[in-house]
Each structure stands twice: as C-alpha cells, then as structure tokens.
Structure 1
Amino acid sequence: MADGFIWYELVTNDMDKAVNFYKKVVGWDVKDAGMPGFTYMIFGKNGKDVGGMMTWAGAGAPDLPTQWMGHIHTAKLDDELKAVTADGGTIVKPAQDIPGVGRFAVVLDPQQVKYLLFEPGKGYVPPRLGQMAAGNVGWHELLTDDAAKAFDYYSRHYGWQKDYAHDMGAMGAYQTFRTDQPLYTGGMMNRKGPGMPEGIPPHWQYYFLVDDIEAAQKRVIEAGGKIVLPPMDVPGGSRILQATDDQDGHFALMQGPKS
C-alpha cells in the first residue's frame, strides 16, 4: 500500500487573520481543536477535516513567513526517519507525540524540500473530505532542482507510481504520480528554467479545490490577497491559480475538470 499526504498545516503569525481569510476564500469551516495551552484550529467542510492552523509562536519558533506544509502517512515513524537520513534527508524536528492523535516529525528530502511524517494513533479517526470535494487538496506539486531524482526518492519511500509525463520542452518533463487513489494525485517539475521566476525555493505546493476559479479569484482580492498566477487551463481539464494571502503566504487553488 502506498503512503500519501493525509493532513495539511498552515503556520502563520496572525491566527485571526488566517482564519478569516481562508474562510472567505476557500469556504472552510474552522474550529478550535481544544488543545490545552495551545491554539490549534482545524479546518474542513461539512464536518469533515482537511488540516489545521497554528502560529509560529505556538510552535515555539520566532515569527517566520507564513507557510503551508503537508503530512505524509507512515505506519512506522521511527523506521521511516532512519530511512530518510540514510537516503540523504534531514530530520528538522524529531518524532513528537500528539496525545490521543498520533506522532509526527518534520524532515527535509535530499534536495532540502520540507515535509512532515505522520503516524496516526489507534484511536478515533475523524471523517475526511472526498478526494475531489471542494475544500480538499486536489493536487500536490513539487518544485525541485532535479525532479527525476525526487521521484526516485518519494517512490522508494512511499510507493508512488509514475503516471502521465507532460513534455515541457527546455524545462524537462512534468511527471505526474499516483498513490492508491483512482485519480492523479500530483506532479513534479524542475524549479529552474525558461519562463520560471528567479528565486523560487524548492517546495511542495498544495492546490485547494474550489467550485469556480474565477469566483475564487475575486474572493482572494476582496479578502486582501494578491494574484500571482491568474486562472489558467492545465492538462486534464482543470483550471488553477496561485496567490498570496493577506500575510504574504503563498497558496494555490484549483477547479477540477467538468464532468
């Protein structure tokens, strides 16, 4: 069984602003997780969870730029941490327990891309949104220095399989990949090349699903965000945009293919 992304996290500096912005733009319901001495907000829709929000201060860190991060499922966190370091990765935050929920750690892949690992506990698992439901993540995109090496790494560790490769000319291939889901789950591409902005760090990017990308673009602007990449068609029939929120945090939206 392949392991995929199962949780998404926004770390920001102003929780109230973040909650208000994303409720307006994506339409999430947001609730306090009720953690003693720590504010952690859970977002989702219709009683089904997608991820959480916290502040850098709450995480015990100084104020840093707003950042979206994703958790990849693992059944054996300690073994996977050993495998990550043996394969050239780095442990940023060692394994830590979340009482009643599970265990997590923060790592860098061999090309310095940050992601989290999550080993669920054996207790109650809250319901999750469907793969292509509005409000969930419909696409996971990796921008890195060597997409071919990156795929080898993630495939070896998490069982991902190659799917369609889109020829991007001088940029190389945009390699899509699957986990155990019936649809495409993401793609990988090189971050440097003709037409790519300078200074983009290697990173994972998550596309949140909306029903209407043009309407979502208006909501971004009205909520105080900025459009980085206006709505555009992509192979497969989806439409995407990229933007920054009102705290300059980069994020992306996606309208799925019309049936």
Structure 2
Amino acid sequence: MSEGHGKFVWYELLTTDTAQAGKFYGTVIGWEAKDASIPGIPYTLLSIGDDSAAGLMEMPDALRSTGAKPVWLGYVGVDDVDKTASLAAEKGATVHKAPEDIPNVGRFAVLADPQGALFALFKSRPGEPSGPPQLRSPGHGGWHELMAADAQAAFTFYSTLFGWTKAEAIDMGPMGTYQIFAHNGTAIGGMMACPPSQAPTGWTYYFNVRDIQDTLNRIKSASGTVQMGPQEVPGGSWIIQGIDPQGGRFAVVAPPAG
C-alpha cells in the first residue's frame, strides 16, 4: 500500500437544495461555493481560501425516492479503486456505484459497508492533489466517526481495505468503548458500537472550525439545528453535532479554548 492508501481525501454532500446548502455551510464553516459543473453533471465546490475542501451535489432521484435524508459522503484514497471495490464486495459490502472515471479528475466508486454505512473510494489522476494539506486545517475534515451495531466487525472490515490500525481505546462507561483508529500512525477517527435504536448509525464527518462558541452562534443564525454540544472531548477539543436546514447531519470540531 502507498502512503496515501486509506487516507480520507474528499467530502461530498448529497442534498436536496445545493444553493441553500452552500449558503448554510458558507456561514457556518466559512466555505465559498464555486460552480464546477461538467457537461451533464452539476457540481459545486466548497473552498476555504485557495483550497478546495468539499463538494455539493443534488441527491439522485433514485435515492430521494426512498425518502433518504441528505447525507455527507467521505472519500477514501486508494491505490486501485477497482481492486479495492472488489475486495470490499468479497467482504460483504454493497457496491452502489461501480468504479467510474471522472473526466480529468480521477476514478471513484460508492459503497455501503456490511452494516450499511455509506463511503466512497477515490484515486486521483497522476499529478492531481490527493487530499487536504493538514488534518487540522480550518475548513477541512478533522475527524471521522463511525457508529455501528458491531464496531469490532466494522473495524475489521475497514482495516482489511485500508490498513487502518487501532490506537487508543477510550472507556465511555455504560456507553461502551470508543476505539480510535489510525492511518500511518496518525489518529484520524473513532468507532463505537451503537444499536440503531439509540442513535443514527453510519459515518459522521467533523469539519475544523476556529472557535466553538462563534460556530454555535452561526449554526443558529443560519437555521441549523444543534443535536449535541458544545461538548468538550478527551484532549480538550470541542465538538458540535447538528442538522442542516435540508436535514443533513454534520459536525464541527474546534481546538481547546484559550
């Protein structure tokens, strides 16, 4: 595996109103929305300064017809999209979008893990950047959290695909164990067992912000809903989990106060 295999490299929101979503996240996170459509595929880039950080797409009709809520999709960089998608399928994943080229960008596929959590694979074309400059950069993805009915089975699945390793395991008391996982020795996220009856399962992506109280005010002013937080987490960072006006679940993380 190359150094970039298993690294989260992109985030994409499938939503019912890209214009309004762009305004909301622009207010909350500071992204600037820019049209990046290609023939037949409307697309909006969300940028922070000179760096592209995420994208917006209209939710496909097939997904919308099921009553699905808008959802953030995380893309994991891999050395070979086709081989990784095939391995994932062998391990029980569902391939929702077979490997396909994005002209002048790269190759991707969209899957659901054996417990139904959506994720995507991506391989950039030679010469294209492979992801954000730093894990903690403002406006970029800062943490990746998976709630699964069977967290150990989920870790085994993703470790097989991406080479992720276990880092610190945090005892959360009656809630269970929060297992931090690492990519090439750097902690990038956590996994935890959570029965579907208690909380939404699947991936939650935390985007970096500079100040948690300021971000809280911005969420409220932009008509977002705060589900949890602000809450301090081990290490001193602060988080908020919320719902955007179209119903998409999102989260933010800020450095320790002071």
TM over 0.5: yes
What does 1:194-205 align with in structure 2 at a 5 Å threshold? 198=197, 200-205=199-204
Per the alignment, residue 187 of structure 1 pairs with 190
Unmatched segments (≥5 aa) in structure 1: none
Equivalent residue, structure 2, for 1:138 = 142
Letter in 2 for 1:255: A
Distance 1:119 1:198 in 2: 36
SS of residue matched to 1:140:
strand
SS of structure 2 residue aligned to 1:185: strand
What's the offset of the Cα at 1:124?
Answer: 3.3
Change over 3 Å in CA distance of 1:167–1:154 after alignment to 2: same
Rounded Cα–Cα distance in structure 2 between residues aligned with 1:20 and 1:103 = 29
Q: Is the CA contact (8 Å cut-off) linking 2:164 and 2:181 kept in structure 1?
A: yes
Distance apart, 1:171 and its partner CA: 2.6
SS of equivalent residue, structure 2 residue 139: coil
Corresponding residue for 1:77?
A: 81
Structure 2 counterpart SS, 1:106: strand
Contact 2:124–2:130 (CA under 8 A) maintained in structure 1? no
The one of 117, 122, 132 equivalent to 2:121 is: 117
Contact 1:48 1:126 in 2 (8 A): no
- The 3-state SS of whatever aligns with 1:198 is coil
Aligned equivalents of 2:131, 2:175: Cα separation in 1:
39
After TM superposition, give the deviation of residue 181 of structure 1 in Å: 6.1
Tell me the TM-score normalized by structure 2: 0.91
The CA distance in 1 between the partners of 2:198 and 2:231, in whole Å, is 22
Write the distance in 1 (CA, Å) between the matches of 2:71 and 2:181: 24
Q: How does 1:132-171 map to 2 (within 5 A)?
A: 132-171=136-175
CA deviation vs aligned residue, 1:194-222 (integer Å, no higher than 9, x gap): xxx83534200001111111110110010
| C-alpha contact (below 8 Å) 2:141/2:205 kept by paired residues | yes
Q: 1:126 to 1:190 in 2, by over 3 A?
A: closer
Give the one of 177, 187, 190 matched to 1:173. 177
Give the TM-score normalised by the residue count of structure 1.
0.91
Cα deviations by residue, 1:230-255 (Å, 9 ceiling, x for unpaired): 20110011100111111121111110
Within 2, Cα distance between the matches of 1:76 and 1:127?
A: 16
Output the CA distance in 1 between the equivalents of 2:43 and 2:185. Answer: 29
**Aligned-pair CA distance for 1:170:** 2.9
Report the aligned-residue RMSD.
Answer: 2.0
- Stretches (4+) displaced over 4 A: none
Matched residues, number:
253
Matches within 5 A, 1:67-106: 67-106=71-110
Q: Cα–Cα, structure 1 residues 93 and 121, in superposed 2: closer, same or farther, change >3 Å? A: same
State how far apart, in whole Å, the 1-side matches of 2:131 and 2:120 are: 21
* 2:250 aligned partner: 251
Which residue number in structure 2 is paired with residue 234 of structure 1?
Answer: 233
* 3-state secondary structure, aligned to 2:33: strand
Aligned-residue identity in percent: 38
C-alpha offsets along residues 118-170 of structure 1, whole Å, 9 cap, x if unaligned?
12112433873421111111110000011111111111210111111001223
Q: Report the secondary structure of 1:112's partner residue.
A: coil
